[in-house]
Amino acid sequence: MAPSSIRFVRLTHRVLRRRGAVALACASVLAIAVAAAHPGPSAASAHSFAGNRYIEPITGGIIIDHFRPPPTPYAAGNRGVDERVPALTPVVASADGEVLFAGDVAGTLHVTVGHADGLRTSYSFIVVVFVHRGQHVEQGTPIGLSGVLVHFGVRDPSGTYLDPEALWAGQLGARLVPGPDEGASSPALIADESQVVAGEVWARRRGPGADRFMALAIETASLAPAADLASLSRELLGWGAGQAACTSAVVPVPAATGRRLAILVGGLGSSSGSAAVDRVDLSGLGYRPADVVRFSYRGGRAPDGRGDHGRLDAIELADYAPSDTVGDLRAAGQRLRDLIAAVHHEEPGVPLDVIAHSQGGVIARIAIGSGAGEVSTPSDPGHRVDTLVTLATPHQGAELATAVTGLGGLTGVGGLVDRLGEVTGLPANAPAVAELSQGSAVIAELARPVPPGVRVLSIGASGDLTVPAARTSIPGATNVVVHLGGLHAHDQLPGQASVTREIGLARAGLAPTCVSWVQGVSDVLMAHGIARGEATVGLATARVLGP
């Protein structure tokens, strides 16, 4: 690690500890003041269940979406209750228990508490969290402050979702007895809780009105001073951690050895004839033209003008237009998964890399997201992707998409919010745009760790106005921010020499290029400012123009 980076990490830790203490102290004082104005639930509202008494975690809220258990895991429903509340309302523990999870899922803060009777309660869309994992909390203990919406969920030891309102009313009659692998102290349960929370909160389909309110709630929560400071702190520390073992800029990238295949995936608004991902320097990375194919949103491979592809010519060709890129992302992910399997079928044993731009990176994550990166079909199981490279991909959701969702499909705002992806003029109510919102089930699923066995590199541009670099990081991956600005930074990123270098380093198993702490901090601050600015504009626009 460069000496300047070491100094920066140490300095950042000291500064952020002080700022964090100040922010927490201010938030605590604010919580006391707000609690005085909003007293906690009274003992009269407490109800028992299997020996535990449960109280409502907030007061002064209005339930806007009741418990609606989905008939299947992917059907419409709501796995808890959603309440509209005044901003900065204290959120308290519903009963005594142990904090299983307290942290970020898909850009918002959540807490899960395990109780002695085996129930687990979750509290979501919190702006400030006061507790930490492993902490014992008593009933009524403040666990945080709310945004303008709180989701409360309850699960039994088997993972079945229960009706919170029935629990509060004392109408759940079955007595639960935790087994040896259940309860607050289960390491497996604690380790997996972030994924469970993501599924509980997001993996449900809501109507346009609820989607719009959810988007506004996310924008509001992200702009709260304490939440904004915490987000910036994580971004700075994430950059510092990424520089802990870096490769000097004077070290050349090792020359590519052996044959490799590559699948390119374009983004929102791309087409068979035009995609920003085509700007990647494939020859500089050592790929032969015949060994590279581009994914078609209609399935198979897109015509690319690269001539003979040998055995890969057996894969079906399919032209696609920008309108084909705005459909359901999960369906596109399955089509990419099929293409990966087909490539391996034609060229077994040859290492395969996937290089995706913008929305294409989300699709690629979906395609390789199950089973340790394995891409399996009934006739072709067990294949793997060697390296996944995503460029300017909103792994944490995109502020512009969130703003569009918050507008609820209103017309008349044109270029202010419709400039999402590579081109203008895409429909604001398109499925892909909604799924790129920070409030979507797809983005929540991306909060899961990357599959083991797949080398993953995510690259963002510091001045990207379409997908802020602050939203491109992936837990457990190599995350890099390159210095690039301008109105067209999003489209120009794939063709940058710095991107070619980082891809080459990652494929060789080397750490990212060392960056001075001045440049690194500057890039982080720029990216954070862009994200915050877009959230502010989106929220203000939705409030002014929305119903």
Q: Which residues contact 218 (CB under 8 A, 6 or more apart)?
A: 107, 108, 125, 147, 402, 438, 439
Identify the bridge partners of residue 113 per DSSP, sorted by sequence position.
99, 121
Mean pLDDT per block of 10 residues along the chain (547 residues) reads 42 40 41 40 43 80 78 64 80 93 77 91 86 91 83 86 85 48 43 57 50 65 72 83 90 90 95 95 94 96 84 93 92 94 91 96 87 43 76 88 65 43 51 80 72 88 92 88 93 96 94 93 92 79 58
Q: Can you give the CATH number for the domain in which 331 is found? A: 3.40.50.1820
Question: Please, what's the largest Cα pairwise distance for the chain?
Answer: 76
Could you tell me if residue 68 is inside a domain? Answer: yes
Could you tell me if residue 459 is inside a domain? Answer: yes
> Distances from the Cα of 150 to the Cαs of 54, 82, 86, 87, 204, in angstroms?
17, 6, 10, 10, 16
| DSSP-H helix ranges across 428-516 | 431-435, 441-445, 489-492, 497-507
Q: Can you give the CATH number for the domain in which 79 is found? A: 2.70.70.10
Q: Give the 3-state secondary structure of 262-296.
A: EEEECCCCCCCCCCHHHHCCCCCCCCCHHHEEEEC
Same domain, 245 and 338: yes
Question: Distance between CA 259 and CA 287 in Å, rounded?
Answer: 7
**Paired tokens of 209:** 């009105």
Could you tell me if residue 391 is inside a domain? Answer: yes
Q: What angle do CA 247, 249, 253 make, to 5 degrees?
A: 70
Could you tell me if residue 223 is inside a domain? Answer: no
Same domain, 50 and 158: yes
- CB-CB contact of 421 with 466 (8 Å): yes
Same domain, 155 and 291: no
Last residue within a domain, chosen from 205, 226, 244:
205
Identify the bridge partners of residue 354 per DSSP, sorted by sequence position.
263, 388
| DSSP-H helix ranges across 179-224 | 187-202, 208-222
Same domain, 182 and 288: no
Paired sense of beta strands 455-461 and 301-302, if any: unpaired
Could you tell me if residue 216 is inside a domain? Answer: no
Q: What is the pLDDT of residue 504?
A: 95
Say if residue 269 is exposed, middle or buried (CB neighbours under 10 Å; 0-12, 13-18, 19+).
buried
Q: Which residue bears the tokens 């696609």? A: 320
Could you tell me if residue 3 is inside a domain? Answer: no
Question: Pick from 525, 535, 494, 482: which is nearest to 8 by CA?
Answer: 525
In this predicted model, what pLDDT tens digit does every residue of 44-80 receive, in sequence order? 344 444 556 888 898 878 887 788 776 665 555 677 8
**Paired tokens of 70:** 């989905």
Number of domains in the chain: 2
Last residue within a domain, chosen from 205, 225, 260:
205
Q: What is the pLDDT of residue 467?
A: 92
- CB-CB contact of 320 with 241 (8 Å): no
pTM above 0.75, yes or no: no
Same domain, 255 and 124: no
Same domain, 181 and 301: no
- CB-CB contact of 505 with 242 (8 Å): no
Same domain, 55 and 177: yes
Could you tell me if residue 392 is inside a domain? Answer: yes
Same domain, 119 and 257: no
Say if residue 132 is exposed, middle or buried (CB neighbours under 10 Å; 0-12, 13-18, 19+).
exposed
Same domain, 59 and 152: yes
Could you tell me if residue 370 is inside a domain? Answer: yes
Range of the domain at 439: 234-510+517-545
- CB-CB contact of 143 with 123 (8 Å): yes
Same domain, 47 and 183: yes
DSSP assignments along 250-265, one per residue? TSPPPPP-S--EEEEE
Question: Distance between CA 92 and CA 81 in Å, rounded?
Answer: 16
CA 234 to chain centre: 14
Q: Which residues contact 47 (CB under 8 A, 6 or more apart)?
A: 53, 54, 55, 167, 168, 169, 170
Same domain, 278 and 163: no
Q: What is the pLDDT of residue 542?
A: 61
Last residue within a domain, chosen from 190, 205, 220:
205
Same domain, 390 and 467: yes
- CB-CB contact of 378 with 452 (8 Å): no
